[in-house]
Amino acid sequence: MGRDEQRLTLTEAIESLRTDLEAAQRQGAGRTLGFSVQGISVELDVEAERTSDAGGGVSWFVAAKAGRSRTRRTATRLVLTLKPRGTLTVTDPGGLSRGTPPPHTGDTAR
């Protein structure tokens, strides 16, 4: 069975998430307001497919909602809770600390 370039493997989906989080971290550099990531919850509809190579086994693909082929497959909801290794901070280290309230810009009504 050849690799279908239209389908996204579970490995590719997680790598894409990693790449996007790294990009968000780079884009957050120099910003005053930042976020640290404590955990990541991902829900994916996935399909298992038996491989036909000599090793056998099962491959997992992210289920597409549109453009399905005529082959009937059953999607399963997969919920992953990922905990980042190291520190993932989407801000500049010189920005406001997490406990610092934002500056007050208006009069307080009494």
Task: Give domain status of residue 16, yes or no.
Answer: yes
Task: Give domain status of residue 28, yes or no.
Answer: yes
| The total number of structural domains that make up the chain | 1
Instruction: Tell me which residue range forms the domain holding 67.
Output: 8-90
pTM recorded for the entire structure: 0.60
Task: Give domain status of residue 17, yes or no.
Answer: yes
Task: Give domain status of residue 109, yes or no.
Answer: no
Task: Give domain status of residue 58, yes or no.
Answer: yes
Cα distances from 46 to residues 18, 25, 50, 65, in angstroms, run 18, 28, 13, 11
pLDDT of residue 3: 54
Low-confidence ranges of the chain (pLDDT < 70): 1-5, 54, 65-74, 91-110
Task: Give domain status of residue 40, yes or no.
Answer: yes
